[in-house]
Structure 1
Amino acid sequence: MKHTVVMTGASRGIGRVAARDILRRSPDTHLVVVARSGADALAAELGARGRAVTPVEADLGSLDSVRSAAAGIGGRLTRGELPPLRGFVGNAGMQYTNALTEGPDGFEATFAINVLANHLLVRGLENRFVSPARVVITVSDTHFGVFRHNMGMVPGPVWAAPDRLARTGAFPRPGTTRAGRTAYSTSKLAAIHLVHEYARRLPAGIDAVGYNPGFVPGTGLTRNAGPVARFAMRRVMPAMTLTPFATSRAAAGRHLADLVLGATEAPSGSYVDRGRAVPSSAESYDRRREQELWEAVERLTSVTSERPAPVPAA
């Protein structure tokens, strides 16, 4: 049966691989790609050979832009311009070289893109899903904060009150690359906390899972880094995919597609490390922190209680 999957982060890296794989393996999927720029060209490329792809332009750093995108997609679903919604993939992510980059809404840009944008899209589409459906949020094993998971390249998360994390300067020496990477790992821990909350709060039949692709050299994640770091990620680090310490883009994209298409078994609330569900860090299971974060992101994104009526199952 034809159905819709909404996806961010399909422009490059593992997202592009996953988008192609989803469309190839599931001809009934109508993929809605949400991208800041070039959405039309991306949709045209992915939609070759008659595959159904719809572009939606949105700046994930701007809450107004994300809110408008969610409303637009919801309207198309209501009018029957898109088939029933059965999936959302929040794959877009950003890592900056500092913790001082501020988005248009006054929020620290890493937190805005990696946490708030996903939350707005999930909440904006929540009552448009038709069961069974799956929400997949790309997270990171950097949230463990130990060498085995980050090889010393990314500092572990440093948790604080969510209102603090959402603003610039939340970490020591905020103008440094280390602070920017700390903001990244902390945002990914926050995303796992929210996956747990989604699993508890989303309507029955809508699963929520976090996906860890592992360390994937050669993606666009470090595009805001300096020239030496960008060169290393593009030209040197890809050799690590020949070892157990890194994952190729092809493998990471395939694992993401498997999860979206239901080929990987993962109960709601799971943390999926590449191809299998495993426990996330002990720190990530903190019910009080998760509730505090939920309340904060609801307030920061101005999510209202006025939701459209649930879509009946097809």
Structure 2
Amino acid sequence: MSTILMTGASRGLGRHAAEHLLRHHPDRHLLVLNRAPGLAAELAARTGNRNVSEITCDLASFADIRRAAAEVDRPLTGFVGNAGLQVQSTRARTADGVEMTFGVNVLAYHLLLNLLLPRFTAPARILVVGSDVHDPRTNSLGLVPPPRWTDPRELARPREGTARDGRRAYATSKLGVLYLVHALARRLPAGVDAYTYNPGLVPGTSLARDAGPVGRAVFQAVGRVLSATPAATRPAEAGRLLAEAAAGPRPGDSGSYVSKGRVVPSSAESYDERREEELWAVADELCGLAEARRRAG
């Protein structure tokens, strides 16, 4: 039985995606990484499919990521990196002293995927969830400012900032996801594909859970308005599309940007091989992978 490993399966569109996989792809085993134990039992009870297991993992800790990756003891044919966060500042830091949004949304996946690479057996598919807020053309009603890319070492450094700076850091991290996926796709063996997946505008997610009462109220109000527009995707539908991108027909060429089930171009800024390779090298250093690569090479 082939195995798909998934992060961010406890709530929102990720929960819908996990349940869809268990209900509609019973030939797959689902391995979930979650901060607290008990999710696998919940999913099994909810879907009636017991082909689900779990490993606890805090993506805000490199040590915990390494420990969790070492516990993966089966071949993988799929990966869905859905867990992500939006912090209402740029001061919060991970256990390793990295700015929280960049650390979890970008560096955690760089480390986790590199540690898991020997486990992937072709044909295999890797999806990391991005967002259309990486594109300055996206209309987010001004709530999420466009990304502002700079030296990745600076993006990884906690710094003083406002709630708006925190939201910009989120958009910038999603641009970073595209850069890492492009760099990863160039390095994967034949038969192992990597994609950035954009679920679109999904009102009702918990991205604003770290905002204050006023901020949460604003996001909820805007979400209610946007839910009535054709631009919005309901969490259940977004989860279904994510699950089918992971386990259904091959979406397209490796490295593609899959938006709501269709391959489309991402922003012009997201295609920059120099930035992609610089981010890959800096991520190696920050995640402690550079020395291992030097020894292996």
Q: TM-score range by the shorter chain?
A: over 0.9
Distance 1:114 1:89 in 2: 13
State the Cα deviation string for residues 149-201 of structure 1 (Å, max 9, x = none).
423220111111111111112xxxx3311100111000100000011011100
With over 3 angstroms needed to count, the CA separation of the structure-2 counterparts of 1:118 and 1:242, relative to structure 1, is: same
The corresponding residue for 2:154 is 164
Distance 2:217 2:164 in 1: 18
Query: Contact 1:264–1:275 (CA<8 Å) still a contact in 2?
Result: no
Distance 2:106 2:94 in 1: 13
Distance 1:132 1:232 in 2: 44
The corresponding residue for 2:284 is 298
State the Cα deviation string for residues 46-80 of structure 1 (Å, max 9, x = none).
1132421111111110111111111111xx22xxx
1:267-282 to 2 correspondences below 5 Å: 267-282=253-268
The corresponding residue for 2:134 is 143
State the Cα deviation string for residues 127-165 of structure 1 (Å, max 9, x = none).
11110000000001111123x442322011111111111
Q: Which amino acid aligns with 2:18?
A: A
Instruction: Verify: 1:109 aligned to 2:100, yes or no.
Output: yes
The corresponding residue for 1:134 is 125
Q: Which amino acid aligns with 1:100?
A: R
RMSD between superposed Cα atoms in Å: 1.7
How many residues align? The count is 292
SS at match of 2:210: coil
Q: Which amino acid aligns with 2:115?
A: G
The corresponding residue for 1:191 is 177
1:83-122 to 2 correspondences below 5 Å: 84-122=75-113
The corresponding residue for 1:46 is 43
Query: Contact 2:251–2:258 (CA<8 Å) still a contact in 1?
Result: no
Query: Contact 1:211–1:273 (CA<8 Å) still a contact in 2?
Result: yes
Q: Which amino acid aligns with 2:34?
A: A
The corresponding residue for 1:66 is 65
> What are structure 1's unaligned runs of at least 5 residues?
78-83, 309-314
The corresponding residue for 1:219 is 205
TM-score for the superposition, normalised by structure 1: 0.89
Q: Which amino acid aligns with 2:40?
A: A
Distance 2:141 2:216 in 1: 18
SS at match of 1:208: strand
Distance 2:7 2:294 in 1: 25
Question: Comparing 28-37 with 15-24, which one deviates more in the overlay?
Answer: 28-37
The corresponding residue for 1:80 is none
Instruction: Verify: 1:210 aligned to 2:196, yes or no.
Output: yes
